[in-house]
Structure 1
Amino acid sequence: MKYRILVVEDQADICTAIQASMTRAGYDIVAVENGEEAWELFQNEEFHVVLTDMMLPGISGEELIKRIRENSDIPIIVISALTDELFQINVYEYKIDDYISKPFSMNLLAYKIEAVIRRTYTETLTEIDHRDVRLIVNNYEVFYLGKLVDLTAKEFELLQTLLLGKGKIYTREELLDIVWGYQYLGDTRTIDMHIKNIRKKLFPELITTIKGVGYRIERN
């Protein structure tokens, strides 16, 4: 089953980053930049999760959530640059399911989406098997030939990203956005170092280098 997510975010760069990253993670994403369009879509189409900012043009995030809650128990995750603790606590009074503060990593966002889906729906991917490697999704456990392999958190997140998108070529910049976050300013050589470590701990042929582009894991 492919879960459908309504993303409501008025900052175009963040909206685009979320759409691209969550599509790669296997979700069907519909993204809009204002509350009115989001409400119209919600009334006429089926979604499994709503991901919304609070500061929206027209219908505010607060009003959008109220309208949705009057009609549905769909999981709602709020994303916002408002970091005031009282504000965040008060947001939960609208019966949202989770909250994430800007800036955030796409990997963290993916985990939060996965968590609310797991709590709400029964069908969800729990593990990936590929060429003697078994990865327990979002659980930071990887087995090779049946033995647990000690990967760092970022190594695990990189490997999970590549395995979830088997066959797709990921650029270094895309991997930085997904794992480290869209505002990460580090060197892309960080990716090369982590890939090298993953290969050393598992096996060299697991991850293919696409010269001048990036990396991928082959489908077979």
Structure 2
Amino acid sequence: MRILIVEDEPKMASYLRKGLMEASFAVDISNDGNDGLFLALHEDYDLIVLDVMLPGLDGFEILKRLREKKRTPVLLLTARDAVEDKVAGLESGADDYLAKPFVYSEFLARIRAVLRRPTQSVDTVLRVGDMEIDLARRRVHRGSVRIDLTAQEFTLLKLLAERKGEVVTRAIVTSHVWDMNFDSDTNVVEVAVRRLRAKIDNPFEKKLLHTVRGMGYVMEDRP
């Protein structure tokens, strides 16, 4: 699972990252509010650890803007323990709230508790044009035609469909489909996209998976 830590205290961020990595999480760090919001909106994380007092944008503003686009679980961290701050955070869409200083074992327990909760307001069926992707059953149809995909192909299709209308870069594909970074000279992404396209597009007149030259790929129903 991937976690983003938005925390402007380098020692605190490093301490939390080390502990989470030892607990088998993949962790990214941002020390600035604007950068943290960009990562939160443009990358896929299972949970965001968000400090309230940040340079650029504060945690409440980041949370507000994030909730306009995504439902990624958020654990707020702050040195402020006032009741009104807790209420403001929770009402803004935070999933939990932890005041500093805290014991790491409680921090980890709260993260695991948030991750165990059912995800709210998440569609179990994605649609792009005449294509329907049933996430629960892992089935794909275009019209009445069922399309059989490998596990890797399904993961790639899900990533592209969830970002319908957005350009998805090769770097994003490699980090989400294979959970690693490939050498830029390899063509593994192109091969994977070509195989997926052969199944979901080539047999059909209307094409849904498009290449944006020099940038990446976009899934959309174009006129």
- Check 1:155–1:206 CA distance in 2 against 1; reply closer, same or farther (3 A cut): same
In structure 2, relative to structure 1, the CA distance for the partners of 1:132 and 1:177 (3 Å cut) is same
| AA at the equivalent of 1:194 | A
Alignment of 1:159 onto 2:173: no
Helix, strand or coil for the counterpart of 1:142? strand
| CA deviation profile, 1:113-134 (whole Å, cap 9, x unmatched) | xx721xxx4x431112222211
Q: Distance in 2 between matches of 1:155 and 1:140?
A: 11
Asked if structure 1 preserves the Cα contact closer than 8 Å seen for 2:209 and 2:218, the reply is: yes
- Once the two structures are TM-superposed, the CA of residue 177 in structure 1 deviates from its matched residue by 1.6
Which of 22, 35, 41 is equivalent to 2:44?
22
- Secondary structure (helix, strand or coil) at the match of 2:78 reads helix
8 Å contact kept, 1:35–1:60: no
Give the direction of change, closer, same or farther, for the CA distance of 1:202–1:65 in structure 2 (3 Å limit): closer
2:191 aligns with one of 193, 197, 220: 193
TM superposition shift of 1:59: 2.5
| RMSD, aligned CA | 3.9
Aligned to 1:45, what secondary structure does the other structure show?
A: helix
> Structure 1 unaligned runs (5+)?
1-5, 67-75, 79-95, 99-111
Higher RCO, 1 vs 2 (CA within 8 Å, ≥6 residues apart) = 1
Match of 1:137 among 105, 127, 135: 135
Stretch deviating more after TM superposition (204-213 or 42-51): 42-51
Distance 1:219 1:133 in 2: 10
Distance 1:49 1:31, change over 3 A: closer
Q: 1:195 and 1:39 mapped to 2: Cα distance?
A: 49
For residues 1-220 of structure 1, what are the structure 2 equivalents within 5 Å? 8=5, 10=13, 14-15=28-29, 19=40, 20-22=42-44, 27-28=70-71, 35-36=77-78, 42-46=86-90, 47=93, 49=95, 58-64=101-107, 77-78=111-112, 96=113, 98=115, 116-117=118-119, 121=120, 123-137=121-135, 139-181=137-179, 183-185=180-182, 189-204=187-202, 205-218=207-220, 220=222
Q: Deviations over 1:163-206 (max 9, x none)?
A: 1111111110011122222x444665221111111111111422
Instruction: For residues 94-152 of structure 1, give each alpha carbon's deviation from its aligned partner in whole angstroms, at most 9, with x where no partner exists.
Output: xx254xxxxxxxxxxxxx7xx721xxx4x431112222211012542211222321111
TM-score between both structures, scaled by the size of structure 2: 0.56
In the aligned structure 2, how far is the partner of 1:175 from the partner of 1:51? 32
Question: What is the TM-score when the length of structure 1 is the normalising length?
Answer: 0.57
Q: Distance in 2 between matches of 1:38 and 1:156?
A: 44
Contact persistence 2:168–2:216 (CA under 8 A): yes
Output the CA distance in 2 between the equivalents of 1:38 and 1:195: 48
Identity %: 18
User: Is the CA contact (8 Å cut-off) linking 2:74 and 2:94 kept in structure 1?
Assistant: no
What secondary structure does 1:116 align onto? coil
Do the aligned residues in 2 keep the contact of 1:133 with 1:143 (CA within 8 Å)?
Answer: yes
1:37 Cα deviation after fit: 5.2
Hey, what's the Cα distance between the residues in 1 that align with 2:161 and 2:192? Answer: 15
Q: Counterpart of 2:141 in structure 1: which amino acid?
A: F
Structure 2 unaligned segments of length 5 or more: list them.
7-12, 18-26, 31-35, 46-65
